[in-house]
Structure 1
Amino acid sequence: MTIATPKPAFTAERQHSVAAALRAVLPAASILSALEDTKPYECDGLAAYRQAPMIVALPASEQEVLAVLKVCRDMNVPIVPRGAGTGLSGGAMPIADGLVLSTARMNQIVRMDAYSRTAVVQPGVRNLAISEAAAQHALYYAPDPSSQIACTIGGNVAENSGGVHCLKYGLTVHNVLRVRVATLEGDVVELGSEALDAPGLDLLSVFIGSEGMLGIVTEVTVKLVPKPACARVIMASFDDVVTGGNAVAKVIAAGIIPAGLEMMDRTSSRMVEPFVKAGYDTDAAAILLCEADGTQEEVEEEIARMTAVLEAAGASAIQVSRSEAERLKFWSGRKNAFPAAGRISPDYYCMDGTIPRKNLAQVLIGIEQMEAKYGLRCANVFHAGDGNLHPLILFDANQPDELHRAEAFGAEILALCVEVGGTITGEHGVGIEKIDSMCVQFKPAELEAFFSVKRAFDPAMLLNPNKAIPTLNRCAEFGKMRVTAGVLPHAGLPRF
């Protein structure tokens, strides 16, 4: 993607003074300031927007995190927390004159307790590493984002990440018991508890999904669940996306909660199949992946029930995994949909919005109409069971106006999600990507309430500023710049 990195917005003197203050509290190797060292931190997974930070700090302990926060507080330096940088909403994009606080070096599993089925981990521990360590106890960590091989638990907490099995097992917020947080003012607080409940307000639920705007995670206690004795997947084909979308609602209406219920349209399956050779039906307009897990008897019963519902809902073909290897193959295609997009398009824009399941067909038809309107292709692959859409808008940033059309396309998808009673994000967060769409979903009083929560945690407003919550002035300007018929008036004006 040919997008230039903006020039630094800080002076050399400012950078040197901040670096000197950090060298008093951190090892020299934990401070990056040369452009060649900070450039890898200029964006997260939303690579269309980039900004080199003034400086990067890599603390290796809670005490070092507190020391970095004190320097930034004393010197009025904005702070952008960063995990593995796999986020897709620009939440970890640096502030021009700010510091990136990476938790990558805080990567230890502190304690694993098979008896209580919990693990205490530092924020830089990879999502998948928790399950790998718990495997010896026949346990695992349920939330499994597509980036689980690389994403870290601290980032998962910041974004309230989900995954293909979140329908049955829940999001991060349902699988985290306790979070230890370093505040900007220098305190360390524990939110939640390893007990069944915690005293006082439920601030854990406020913090999870707060996108690094309230504090820095230094330790997390997660729930572990028993690894199912058996799991099998149905791949159901449909001749049109409307029938497939309606089938999702019918599965849930039948009282079945699959371990996973995912949908891919023809564009998605055709771009993934040559990449992973998962055995997908590439002639189908849509395919559903429906997983059952539990004991052998439970799985057999649920597979039979789901098969009957899907056949009655109009499935044109049904295939059930015959082995664990085939089950993993089915899921590998779904989990590799994003990288596979690079095989058919120079660039892609991965959206994230959530809608009521009953509106799946309506929204998919709307997206199809938008493809013609904006002259861009869109591959739909998503968590169908909980209505969390992930449209992949395919474009070429080297072609004039295609990035702008992709952004307008995405904004219209999010507006449609709100229109049908949904929301602008399910698990990717708001970051910078959806900050204008927040103006569509929330009223001024609601936005001011969000800022009140932030000010309670971060009075100086230094933690990840200008992300996630738009100011009322920004919303007023956005109202003047709303996309109409794919055209944004005054497109040359700066947006960030």
Structure 2
Amino acid sequence: MRRSGSRGVDRVERALLTVLRPDQVKTDDASLRVAARDASLVRPTPPAVVCLAESHDDVVAMMTIAADLGVPVVPRGAGTGLAGGAVPSGGAIVVSTARMNRVLDVDRDNGSARVQPGVVNLDLDRLLRSTGFHFSPDPSSQQVCTLGGNVANNSGGPHCLAYGVTSAHVLAVRVVLVGGEVVDLGGDDPEPCGLDLRGAFIGGEGTLGIATEITVAITPNPPVTRTLLLAYADMTSAANTVSSIIAAGIVPAAMEVMDQGIVRAIEQYVGAGYPTDAGAVLLVEVEGLEGGVAANEVAIRGIAERMGATSIRTAVDEAERALLWKGRKTAFGAVANIAPDYYLHDTVVPRARLASVLDEVASIGVRHRLMIVNVFHAGDGNLHPLIVFDRRDPGVLERVHEAGADIVRASLAAGGVLSGEHGIGIEKQEFMSAMFTDDDLDHQNRLRRSFDPLGLSNPGKVLPSSHSCADIQQLSSVPAGVWL
């Protein structure tokens, strides 16, 4: 069914149809509803129109029309974001890059690949593995999330401990600004002259423009990989093991902690072989040359024993290793075995404060009468508390959001930061002033306006309204704190 539009919507649609095919311009109710939300709990807002970009030129045409008509533009990848970053403002054009999904070039000699923004993270990784390389950032949503979204949120994943988040693997980005101007940020030179505008764009959450081509560094596959599963009676012992491993000078490729609640859900879901009687499990992966990996495994086993590990297991082959990681990567889906809904949070705290902050998270759950399970990137202190609930329960959503806010406050009080990889979006706008000074926020807004003077690129996101340009405030109809 076609959605009945206003004159403004019809005007936008007519303009877009002068540069795009009819099947690329969607105004039907189903398309608008899908594009109205992402994976967050932010209340959906239907856009005016959804455009399915198929090329760089399509994006240039859309951004030119947006500027001419003064209409906001919201970039959209796979819609897997968890902070409301892809929830459109009212009357916006949603530009979907999902059809821009080609790997344009793989240069093994120079260790790079050029891709379009709609390439799925895991598809690129699988393509590269057969050539002796891989793409290191591996978010839990890598089966569906796209490279454009990874760049927008500066995504991480379990292996960012050793390899770094997306910004460490992006060499260059071709960007279309509002108005249709095209800029190439970064390049092959590891130390380019001038300002690092590539770095400024990555993590911009779509507020600076739309990426149409991304050049990424690809990583040689390690000669040897060994994966250990350590079990503990309690979360504190697992968290302290993480700190002790790093203190010993060992930097594994990944260190992931899961508590008993999520472990039991995972076992019901995929049967990964995790011990369900453990209070917490720690998944540690080490990579490199055989001698170094073997030495690190011995050292980690010794630390685990001193920290009170109740069992220590090393995957005997690739099949067992893959199963252990399947459990970790399907943790969020496994939550359905506990409750039908969840709110996944994302903050980062100093490793030395992991145990105390996790104790506070548990207290927050008790205080708000909610179940919270934990699965997180322990190596870099990136917490992902999962508040599980049933939204049909009266008043539960209010308690869920109050608990989420308390988790953010506890993380900041411990010297942490608002987000490790999910971004700010709408979810954490209200906390930006708690982390940054007025001068900080003013300079962030100045940077934003240098890319987008009209304030039309993903308005109403990241910066609180008191520190955002006036035209953005007027365009946005998605104020912070509007939740399902």
Q: With structure 2 as the length reference, what TM-score do the two structures score? A: 0.95
1:165 equivalent among 154, 159, 162: 159
Instruction: State the shift of 1:27 in Å.
Output: 1.0
Return 5+ residue gaps in structure 1 as ranges: 1-7, 475-492
Partner Cα separation in structure 1 for residue 67 and residue 28 of structure 2: 23
Instruction: State the shift of 1:39 in Å.
Output: 1.5
Matches within 5 A, 1:183-332: 183-332=177-326
Offset from partner CA, 1:333-381 (integer Å, 9 cap, x none): 1111111111211210000000000000000000111111000000100
The alignment partner of 2:409 has SS state of helix
Instruction: State the shift of 1:277 in Å.
Output: 0.5
1:176 lines up with 2:170 in the alignment: yes
Matches within 5 A, 1:1-400: 12-400=6-394
Partner Cα separation in structure 1 for residue 188 and residue 123 of structure 2: 21
Q: Are the counterparts in 1 of residues 350 and 381 from structure 2 also a CA contact under 8 Å?
A: yes
Aligned-partner residue type, residue 228 of structure 2 = I
Partner Cα separation in structure 2 for residue 442 and residue 174 of structure 1: 24
Q: Are the counterparts in 2 of residues 444 and 472 from structure 1 also a CA contact under 8 Å?
A: no
Partner Cα separation in structure 1 for residue 194 and residue 428 of structure 2: 32
Instruction: State the shift of 1:494 in Å.
Output: 7.4
Instruction: State the shift of 1:404 in Å.
Output: 1.1
Q: Residue 411 of structure 1 aligns with which residue?
A: 405
Instruction: State the shift of 1:243 in Å.
Output: 1.5
Partner Cα separation in structure 2 for residue 13 and residue 34 of structure 1: 16
Aligned-partner residue type, residue 397 of structure 1 = R
Partner Cα separation in structure 2 for residue 230 and residue 277 of structure 1: 26
Number of residue pairs the alignment of both structures matches: 470
Aligned-partner residue type, residue 304 of structure 1 = V
The alignment partner of 2:450 has SS state of helix
1:445 equivalent among 439, 460, 482: 439
Aligned-partner residue type, residue 241 of structure 2 = A
Partner Cα separation in structure 1 for residue 74 and residue 327 of structure 2: 33
Q: Are the counterparts in 2 of residues 229 and 294 from structure 1 also a CA contact under 8 Å?
A: yes
Return 5+ residue gaps in structure 2 as ranges: 469-479
Aligned-partner residue type, residue 100 of structure 1 = V
Q: Are the counterparts in 2 of residues 232 and 324 from structure 1 also a CA contact under 8 Å?
A: no
Q: Are the counterparts in 2 of residues 31 and 55 from structure 1 also a CA contact under 8 Å?
A: yes
Structure with more contact order per residue of length (Cα contacts < 8 Å, sep ≥ 6): 2
Q: Residue 463 of structure 2 aligns with which residue?
A: 469
Q: CA RMSD in A?
A: 1.6
The alignment partner of 1:426 has SS state of coil
Aligned-partner residue type, residue 307 of structure 1 = R
Partner Cα separation in structure 2 for residue 473 and residue 69 of structure 1: 25
Partner Cα separation in structure 2 for residue 296 and residue 329 of structure 1: 22
Q: Are the counterparts in 1 of residues 77 and 148 from structure 2 also a CA contact under 8 Å?
A: yes
Partner Cα separation in structure 2 for residue 226 and residue 397 of structure 1: 45
